[in-house]
Structure 1
Amino acid sequence: MSKDIITYGVIGCGMMGQEHLRNIALLPGARVGAIYEPNELMANAAKAIAPNARLASSIADLLSEESLDCLLVVSPNHMHVDQLAEIASIRPLPVLMEKPLYTSEAQSKQLDALKASYPAPVWVAMEYRYMPPVATFLEQLSRATGEVKMLTIREHRFPFLPKVGDWNRFNRNTGGTLVEKCCHFFDLMRLALQSDPVRVMASAGQEVNHLDETYAGETPDIWDSAYVIVDFASGARAMLELCMYAEGSKFQEELSAVGPSGKIEAFVPGPGRFWPTHLGVPPTAQVIVSPRQPKGPQTVEIPVDPALLEAGDHNGSTFYQHQRFLSVVRGEADTEVTLDDGAWAVRMGLAAQKSAATGQMITL
């Protein structure tokens, strides 16, 4: 596609949808032509970010906008597969689909049919791949370790934020914390290890957060902490440690990979808007390489463009992801995060949910 300006249609403009809009606004050669957001408050907020976009009354109405070149879907998790099916039946444009790709085993079967027939690229939005410190970690991984044998990912962060209709408080809408939140990390495990998982074992629960909340008489059932161990076909092992009542941490994500040659680590701060002003400027991301011989850790700071930090909560990754997606829409590159990648991340999350619920190791 040889167009100077690529026009997006956007489905869903809550908190994350608005982050996408702010980042699209920073991209040369991109604009938003139409938005479908059924919540009036969120629709008005989206319109303030993209004032030239038309507010559509439905997905079908949005797809009738002739100027659209691609779609961005940022609706609640459980809606993704049905909305992709609706798009496929009306006007199957290239899609950037927010994670998680699906939320249940039943939806995975519906997705399989769509994968086989959808004629345009679908990119699953695994933003964490594109955080500058994580991207540097991935680029240097093989050189620093000699081949990863052990991979650990720790996320110590704030609780789930309020969302429209409180949809993210219940597993039936999210797929569970180990799908909703942790599909990012399972995707990073597969990418870093270049292998598929064979066994998953998890311990998780709801220990602190949301226990005093009720919605239409229901108490949230979303978990706030977990350990997950994953064995891979290559023989490598990976572990995830999640705690969602640790917002006092200096860094939100910590990645560590170890192999026969040494170790590499990445330290990623959380959203700057949550950093206490009395502590001064927020911390800067770091990558540390620790060779076995000669010993001596080497630390490099990985600063992120302040304009990108201001545009969202994901260390600039939303912007870089859109840059790459636009190259796919223009026919200049291939999709980097495929439907298969998105499906594997959910499959691992669902296995971890099942393992934690049953106390059993799950074989994939």
Structure 2
Amino acid sequence: MAVNYGVIGCGMMGQEHLRNLALLPDAQVAAIFEPDAEMRQRAAALAPNARMVGSVAELLSVDTVDCLLIASPNHFHLGQLEEIAAIRPLPVLIEKPLFTGAADMARIEILRQKYPAPIWIAMEYRYMPPVARLIAEADMATGGVRMLTIREHRFPFLKKVGNWNRFNSRTGGTMVEKCCHFFDLMRLILKSDPVRIMASGGQAVNHVDERYDGRQPDIWDHGYAIVDFASGARAMLELCMFAEGSRYQEEISAVGPEGKIECKVPGPVRFWPEHLGASPVAKVTVSPREPQGPRSIDIPVDPALLEAGDHNGSTFFQHQRFLHAVRGEGPVEVTVDDGWWAVAMGLAAQESAVTGQVVNLSARRQINAFQTQE
């Protein structure tokens, strides 16, 4: 029997979810809440059998809905999750980031403790096939990762409904909105929590000539972050959002005492220039120290999945795993705690870049736990 989704938010990312859900034989969309008329029309075309509703509460009143997807703008995520908790707490897949500001942290802890159904944070990058391959083989290839480097060179932020993604107050800032994916990968690959973070970033090229209600966007377009982990491992992030001419969009390198493993992931197929021919294929390379000699393999992805979204097929694979959790056949793989850390690291990176100071994350975690108990 198919699992029926209720979907909250069908902008660009929500529509990617709809296209991928249409490819899953054991899932269908029963109801959609999307307040924007144009986005609602597009969603109806992608999910013609779904019932369009006018609020979160009305969506929750649809008896056939078995689970939920939240893909609304960042600053709505936490409030909508709390509304769901108060009315009908179904299993929910909620797009990143889980929240957007330090003031929200205590509210997250309450949800984590009291929400009775699975909450899965949508960290699609974990499920990109080349990234998943690197994660699975990292310890064996490296002998235990001691240095991790993540680089994303990509296109600028796209246009969104109401231009919500142009301002830090609605997104949490670029280190949250964009980079929470990478901070999540750091913790996952290194199997450790961060203790210190230092960062540098800003707005150099993108959106400087744009104005919305007289305001200039303040969202950053580039930055670096260095993170120390409790295990003694170190990680570095390099982000540039005016580098869409790159052959690969994401490059991840993990190094340990026995060798190195790296993956390269192309950007969305729809942005690859036609005159260059076929878009690149993702690769994973293992480079042992002894005997020396890199070994590379291609990690192709079903073209239908590449056409269904901008994340190298990962949205499809994520929903497969989420459905296991909904049915009680598997664990929640990306927990509220994972979502908390990803945002906390992003907020700390924003703070470090603004102040020029190293931010102690282990102390911040302890303070948050104490405030929640109070």
Displacement of 1:273 in angstroms is 0.5
2:224 and 2:329 mapped to 1: Cα distance? 40
1:333 and 1:139 mapped to 2: Cα distance? 18
Displacement of 1:189 in angstroms is 0.1
> Deviation digits for residues 106-143 of structure 1, max 9, x if unmatched?
11111111111110000000000000000001111011
Aligned to 1:304: 301
The residue matched to 1:325 in structure 2 has which SS? Answer: helix
Aligned to 2:61: 64
Aligned to 1:361: 358
Aligned to 2:221: 224
Aligned to 2:262: 265
The residue matched to 1:263 in structure 2 has which SS? Answer: strand
> Deviation digits for residues 12-40 of structure 1, max 9, x if unmatched?
00000000000000001110000000000
1:9 and 1:337 mapped to 2: Cα distance? 20
Write the letter of the residue equivalent to 1:249: S
Aligned to 1:172: 169
TM alignment of 1:48-127, pairs within 5 A: 48-127=45-124
1:162 and 1:82 mapped to 2: Cα distance? 23
TM alignment of 1:230-249, pairs within 5 A: 230-249=227-246
Residue identity (%):
69
2:55 and 2:243 mapped to 1: Cα distance? 39
Aligned to 2:194: 197
Write the letter of the residue equivalent to 1:178: M
The TM-score normalised by the length of structure 2 is: 0.96
1:337 to 331, 334, 339: 334
Write the letter of the residue equivalent to 2:336: L
Aligned to 2:39: 42
Aligned to 2:180: 183
* Runs of 4+ residues over 4 Å off in structure 1: none
2:299 and 2:202 mapped to 1: Cα distance? 34
The residue matched to 1:227 in structure 2 has which SS? Answer: strand
1:107 and 1:282 mapped to 2: Cα distance? 41
1:349 to 346, 349, 358: 346
Write the letter of the residue equivalent to 2:226: I
Write the letter of the residue equivalent to 2:103: A
Write the letter of the residue equivalent to 2:212: Y
Write the letter of the residue equivalent to 2:284: V
2:44 and 2:33 mapped to 1: Cα distance? 11
1:327 and 1:53 mapped to 2: Cα distance? 22
Gapped regions of structure 2 (runs ≥ 5)? 362-374
2:99 and 2:75 mapped to 1: Cα distance? 6
The residue matched to 2:144 in structure 1 has which SS? Answer: coil
1:131 and 1:110 mapped to 2: Cα distance? 30
Gapped regions of structure 1 (runs ≥ 5)? none
Write the letter of the residue equivalent to 1:29: D
Q: Verify: 1:10 aligned to 2:10, yes or no.
A: no
The TM-score normalised by the length of structure 1 is: 0.99
The residue matched to 1:31 in structure 2 has which SS? Answer: strand
Displacement of 1:148 in angstroms is 0.4
2:72 and 2:317 mapped to 1: Cα distance? 21
2:172 and 2:62 mapped to 1: Cα distance? 32
Displacement of 1:67 in angstroms is 0.1
Displacement of 1:280 in angstroms is 0.1
